[in-house]
């Protein structure tokens, strides 16, 4: 890299840092991933939808189709008409990043605001009542947060084709 390009990248990163520093630590990594295409390309890269990928792959869809490294790309793959399903979508992404842990309602709210997803006013009630096909509960309450049960983990894995993440949780 030449010095001019290095200085340009540095200034963009510092500008991004100013914006991201004001966010909750739990969503800073996701916000950074969302912002990178806007800062380092003329326009965001066109993401391929799941349908495009299956057409290219001969109509076969596999678990490798889901890109969980970028929240924006992950959200583009799935469309939900119900706000409650958007809560589950965000939970699935968090699960793919950090595994099963006690998810705070505040985290879900901040992620939905950052990504533009519509969620219910009371995401805690959504998690409290979430069931798989009317059977087992998907969450158990732990303090002020909600942790996926074993049934919940299986539901998220099967519905969204994600694997359990192992990143450490951001410190507050």
Q: 66, 161 in Cβ contact below 8 A?
A: yes
φ and ψ of 158, to 5 deg? -75, -40
Over residues 73-85, mean pLDDT: 86
Reported as a pLDDT band with limits 50, 70 and 90, residue 50 is: very low
Beta-sheet strands, E only, within the chain? 103-104, 139-142, 145-148
Q: 116, 30 in Cβ contact below 8 A?
A: no
Sign of the four-CA dihedral 21, 24, 28, 32: negative
Q: How far apart are CA 169 and CA 172, in angstroms?
A: 9
pLDDT in tens, 86-120: 999 999 999 999 998 999 999 999 999 988 889 99
Q: Is the pLDDT reported for residue 73 higher than 60?
A: yes
Q: 88, 148 in Cβ contact below 8 A?
A: no
Q: 95, 152 in Cβ contact below 8 A?
A: no
The pLDDT score that the predictor gives to residue 43 is 41
The answer to pTM > 0.75 is no
The pLDDT score that the predictor gives to residue 92 is 92
Residues above pLDDT 70, as percent of the chain: 84
The pLDDT score that the predictor gives to residue 172 is 60
């Amino acid at each position: 890299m030449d010095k001019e390009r290095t200085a340009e990248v540095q200034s963009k990163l510092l500008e991004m840092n100013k914006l991201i520093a004001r966010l909750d630590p739990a969503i800073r990594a996701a916000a950074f991933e969302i912002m990178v295409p806007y800062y380092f390309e003329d326009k965001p890269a066109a993401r391929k939808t799941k349908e495009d990928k299956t057409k290219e792959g001969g109509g076969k869809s596999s678990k490798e189709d889901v890109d969980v490294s970028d929240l924006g790309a992950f959200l583009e793959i799935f469309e939900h008409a119900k706000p409650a399903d958007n809560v589950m979508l965000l939970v699935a992404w968090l699960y793919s990043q950090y595994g099963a842990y006690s998810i705070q309602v505040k985290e879900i709210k901040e992620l939905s605001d950052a990504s533009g997803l519509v969620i219910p006013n009371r995401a805690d009630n959504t998690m409290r009542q979430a069931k798989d096909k009317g059977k087992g509960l998907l969450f158990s309450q732990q303090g002020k947060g909600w942790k996926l049960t074993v049934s919940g983990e299986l539901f998220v894995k099967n519905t969204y084709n994600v694997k359990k993440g192992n990143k450490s949780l951001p410190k507050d």
